[in-house]
Amino acid sequence: MERVEAELFTDGGNDAVVRLPGRRFPGVLIQGDSLHILRSDLAEVMEAYERGDLAEARRSTGLLLAGLDALLTRYADALEGHGIPRPY
């Protein structure tokens, strides 16, 4: 294990925006349990599609997309708040 200092652009919650040494742009640190939930949510979408339940798949996909949109907004706001251009 290597210890490094990172720059923290948001609070240290489940989806902190941080920049590691040597990186031009910050990234999003997603905690392991949150990553597992994200994967489980996507698996629910796949299961609904496999069952042919398109309404449920659409609902689950919408929730997943809304969560990712919120995460992307948090990232963009953190960069803007520190005068860093978006990498996309």
Looking at residue 12, its pLDDT comes to 79
d(CA 65, CA 71): 10
Residue 86 lies in a domain: no
**Tokens of residue 64, six digits:** 């997943």
pLDDT at 83: 97
Q: Let me know if residue 87 belongs to a domain.
A: no
Query: Does residue 77 lie in a domain region?
Result: yes
In a domain, 88, yes or no: no
Per-residue pLDDT of the chain (88 residues; tens, 9 = 90+): 999 999 999 987 889 999 999 999 999 999 999 999 999 999 999 999 999 999 999 999 999 999 999 999 999 999 999 999 999 9
For residue 38, being part of any structural domain is answered with: yes
The answer as to whether 62 is a domain residue is yes
34 found inside a domain: yes
Q: Which residues contact 21 (CB under 8 A, 6 or more apart)?
A: 4, 5, 6
In a domain, 19, yes or no: yes
State which residues form the domain around 65.
7-81
Domain count, the chain: 1
pLDDT for residue 36: 96
What integer pLDDT is reported at residue 13 of this predicted model? 81
